[in-house]
Structure 1
Amino acid sequence: MPLNPQAYRPEQTILSLGDAFYDPVEAAPFRETRLRFRNDRAAREVGLDALTDEEWIAHFGRFAPLPGTLPGPLALRYHGHQFRVYNPEIGDGRGFTFAQLRNRDGRLMDLGTKGSGQTPWSRFGDGRLTLKGGVREILASEMVEALGVPTSRSFSLIETGEQLYRNDEPSPTRSAVLVRLSHGHIRIGSFQRLAYLREDEALRRLVGYSLRALYGEDSDDPLRLLDLVLTRTATLAARYMAAGFVHGVLNSDNINITGESFDYGPWRFAPTWDPAFTAAYFDQNGLYAFGRQPEAIHWDVMQLAAALRPLAESEPLIALLESFGERYQPAITDALLWRLGRKPIDPASDRALVQAIERGLRASGVGIDRFFFDAFAQPLPEGYGAPWDEARAALDRYAPRAPRTHAYWRGEAPCSMLIDEVEAIWARIAENDDWSALDVKVAQIREMADALRLVEDR
């Protein structure tokens, strides 16, 4: 197979944890394998972009092992709070970790699946993914990546030729297997499981693995791990808010300890700055509403701290947890200033600007994407009236980080990803097998990403 030895760097790091952390599994024998999406931009970063389509399907549809990495798929074991109810019966129920590689920056990356078949943790599920679910994950991951959210990336989508029955989609519906590229698959729930089972030595080993493999630190200190996770997750919460993104299911088994967003199910983008906006129809109490996401993520990190209690005293764990707000505030100002294309001034001014923008967005009902498009690296247009007087005066003090020169800014409307467009893209696929709208949308998102990245990288 055509692999670049300078770019392709296989790993087997997860095997050092031992077989108490995972179960060897096999992929389902799919009826067919039709390649629908391959992310060559991501593949280039791990030396896999030169694969032919046939080779791609062999590895990411039939899961032939990649050279030098894991000999077979591994379904990871974990527990977690789901809508704040503890569940010890979960784990990788329709996915597995298939390979580990280093990217061009030396970071350890996993290739993991969604929809690859049943595992010991499937319970009553079929282990499959709907094609619509795969399309939605492509759209979500591409969009949040463009908007500066640390995220897993949709690497491959292959249609598998089965008819699936789901309560929340018209059935029967088409099936697919998705592959994600992620910076690890260790979740808060991975630690919760070991604490629940009172496997203290395994818990200590997982702490050391996480620090060394995912943070590059030669340490076994649980307090250091919690410190790092708090910063990463506070940043994740801030980036969600600045992107106007609602994940929908921020359970502790869906929080990666690297602070990387993943597992896109009932997600949505909020049309306006409405703290009560929810993504999941089953989130009837708004636990994971747009404005409650920082609280939800903090609560999940509290469960990590509780899981680490066998290895550390309560007082320093609590002291670290109480610093979440101190970490979130600079993260949200940084995220909003980045999306605005502005240079920071000082913490007090930056905080006041964020508050003025939030008040303007809530009072005016202006679309989130519309506002950031109009305000990027330039004064607010004249059409923004009285609700924006405070924010306008504050923004006028901020210098742009880059000129507004990219072709994207010459368009009349921002690139958005509201639910009506998601459904329209899917309808063309479902009704006419027409993938052109998805291709066009991904290209538009990447154009926006290029425009935003003209501002200095964070």
Structure 2
Amino acid sequence: MSESRSPVFDNSFARLSGPFYSEQAPSSVPNPGLIRINTALAEQLNINSDWLASAEGIASMAGNHVPAGAQSLAAVYAGHQFGGWNPQLGDGRAVLLGELIGKDGIRYDWQLKGSGRTPYSRGGDGKSPLGPVIREYILCEAMAALGVPTTRALGAVTTGEMVFREQGLPGAVFSRVAQSHIRVGTMQFFAARRDNEALQTLSDYLIKRHFPEAADADNPILAMFKEILSRQACLLAQWQSIGFIHGVMNTDNMLLCGETIDYGPCAFMETYDPSTVFSSIDHQGRYAYGNQPSIAHWNLMQLAQALLPILDNSPTATEDSAVAIAQEAINSFPERYLNAYQNIIKDKLGLSQFKEADDALFQALLSNMEAQKADFTLCFRRLAELANESACINTSIRELFDFNEAFTPWLQQWRQRLIEDQQSPAHRQAQMFKANPVFIPRNHLVQEAISAAQSEGDFSYFNQLVDILAEPSQFDPSKLRYAMPAKPEQRVTQTFCGT
């Protein structure tokens, strides 16, 4: 295998001077085996997909081989976990191999998750069972197909060893790609230690890597913070619009680049209920579906607190002036979120613009959905089918879901609102089909793929599910079971973290 076929790394984070990470090689494993590679993503990252699927590529994904130019490291961070402060966390079961420049000119991290102990493992083994690797691959790629900013799956491999939790489980390593892995908790770690020099260094790095337009502002740190607020507002709006429940919205799981990270106890809501929780450890419902926007706001308040020492760059800066600047910025988050959310909802309802009166219309739909225990995804998808009733739809989901008589008054109001809206029915329906997917990674299907892989080494369910979710809006009646909600005996009501 020629050296030129290996990835070309350019490791800017490793070049930072300061206590941001520990050098850490991944642990080797006895018998790595390929589960799947993401060929399209590999090519986007200028990685030769044949190399990635080769023995050397598989060894690299497993941690048995560190490619030339990689500088593997484990990053340090802190975080609020379920509201409780933990002063030191860090990559306890992951190493960053290095950074790659994609065909789009954007810099990406390549991280191995489940790659063994690091200085931040806190007594853990640093390994990952196969199940969480399967889950993360399915979920993050489904989110990408839905247009949600997210970390991505470059590949996954088995390790040929058992990982012991409550029982022995087959092990695996996940290759995760992100625009970076710097979190709210990263800034909190250095703020808690009053290391303002490290805070400034990290902020300068973030501006250069993710927010270059902020560099020309009168106050670059404030400009960066406002852009982070906007990205998180848009991200949360997208989560809410598709019924995604993260499950562990700790500050160490909020990336400052604005991508979704950590697909542990996450799930997609089926029956609409704002109080829905799936995480087995969220006993108080802190991270319930309906709470997610306010939790994001709370997390960003913690970021503002961490940035206070460097937030006011004026000659007369004081702690009080920094607090005032932070407060004004953070107070803008609810409006930023609402604007982003309403912009998506107008598409889901088939409107060209969201008017003030449309909020009551939308809330009435949600109330009906909750009262009728309607499936969130199929309800909106069926609405899209009704948006242009003159069109011949040969692949309707009507046998899966249709509106009962309780929805009739609301449907009449909605149709009247569409008459007032200046869009052709065909354009409206195309807009709605795009905004209202038919395929989501339903919990029972994800569990089916995990169970087959863990118990039988059968990855066919996993591969087929990944392929179907790659086209979430394209309904094919032959794939009907992938659009169906779980039957009572299929329901998975709890999801678990892989640590």
Structure 1 residue runs without a partner (length 5+): 452-458
| Shift in CA distance, 273/294, structure 1 to aligned 2, threshold 3 Å | same
Distance 2:43 2:2 in 1: 12
Contact 2:32-2:159 at 8 Å conserved across structures: yes
**Equivalent residue number for residue 362 of structure 1:** 370
Give structure 2 stretches of 5+ with no counterpart. Answer: 312-321, 390-397, 476-499
In 2: Cα distance, 1:240 partner to 1:63 partner: 36
Residue type matched to 2:341 in 1? I
For residue 455 of structure 1, what is the aligned residue in structure 2?
Answer: none
Q: SS in structure 2 opposite 1:51?
A: helix
1:373 equivalenced with 2:381 (yes/no): yes
Contact 1:9–1:103 (CA<8 Å) still a contact in 2?
Answer: no
For 1:387, which of 401, 404, 407 is the aligned residue?
Answer: 407
Deviates more, 1:86-95 or 1:329-338: 329-338
1:345 aligns with 2:353: yes
Q: Which residue of 1 aligns with 2:244?
A: 245
Structure-1 separation of matches of 2:256 and 2:362: 27
- Look up the match of 1:201: 197
- Structure having the higher Rg: 2
Q: Between the two structures, name the one with larger relative contact order (CA 8 Å, sep ≥ 6).
A: 2
The answer to whether residue 195 in structure 2 is matched with residue 187 in structure 1 is no
Corresponding residue for 1:333?
A: 342
Pair 391,80 (structure 1): closer, same or farther in 2 beyond 3 Å: farther
The answer to whether the 8 A contact 1:32-1:161 is kept is yes
Equivalent residue for 2:441? 417
Give the drift of 1:58: 3.0
Counterpart-to-counterpart distance in 1, 2:22 and 2:13: 12
Query: Which residue in 2 is equivalent to 1:456?
Result: none
Matches of 1:82 and 1:388, distance apart in 2: 44
- TM-score normalised according to structure 2 size: 0.82
Letter in 1 for 2:71: G
**Deviation of the 1:449 alpha carbon:** 5.4
Distance 1:353 1:17, change over 3 A: farther
CA contact (8 A) 1:246 1:270 kept: yes
Give 2:200's aligned amino acid: R
Shifted more, 217-226 versus 75-84: the winner is 217-226
- For the aligned residue pairs, the C-alpha RMSD in angstroms reads 2.7
Contact 2:28/2:64 (CA < 8 Å) preserved in 1? no
1:330/1:347 contact within 8 Å kept = no
Q: Any idea what the Cα deviations from partners look like across 1:10-64, whole Å, max 9, x if unmatched?
A: 4222134224111100111101110101111211211114333223213212364
Is the counterpart of residue 126 in structure 1 residue 125 in structure 2?
yes
Farther off after superposition, 201-210 or 344-353: 344-353
Report deviation, 1:155. 1.3
Contact 1:146 1:446 in 2 (8 A): yes
Q: Structure 2 counterpart of 1:365, which letter? A: K
Residue-by-residue CA offset, 1:41-89 (whole Å, 9 max, x unaligned): 2112111143332232132123644455xx3211001100011111013
C-alpha deviation, 1:439, in angstroms: 1.1
Q: Distance in 2 between matches of 1:36 and 1:349?
A: 50
Partner of 2:35, secondary structure, is strand
Checking the alignment, whether the CA contact within 8 Å between 2:241 and 2:345 is kept in structure 1 is yes
How far off its partner does 1:223 sit? Answer: 1.1
Aligned to 1:60: 61
2: CA distance, partners of 1:193 / 1:236: 24
- Specify the code of the residue in structure 2 equivalent to 1:189: G
Please give the secondary structure, in 1, of the residue aligned with 2:121.
Answer: coil
- Report if the CA contact (8 A) 2:439-2:473 is conserved: no
Report the counterpart of residue 325 of structure 2 in structure 1. 316
SS of alignment partner, residue 112 of structure 1? strand
Secondary structure of 1:36 counterpart: strand
- Structure 2: distance between partners of 1:263 and 1:141: 9
Q: Per-residue deviation at 1:263?
A: 1.0
Question: TM-score when scaled to structure 1?
Answer: 0.89
* Residues 401 and 40 (structure 1), Cα distance of their counterparts in 2 relative to 1, 3 Å cut: farther
Percent identical pairs in the alignment equals 30
1:275 CA displacement: 1.1
1:87 and 2:86 correspond: yes
Conserved? CA contact 2:63–2:112, under 8 Å: no
Aligned equivalents of 1:37, 1:183: Cα separation in 2 = 21
Q: 1:214 to 1:329 in 2, by over 3 A?
A: same
Identify the range of structure 1 (387-396 vs 319-328) with the bigger mean alpha-carbon deviation. 387-396
Amino acid at match of 2:234: T
Show CA shifts across 1:317-350 (max 9, x none): 001111111011111122334455x353244255
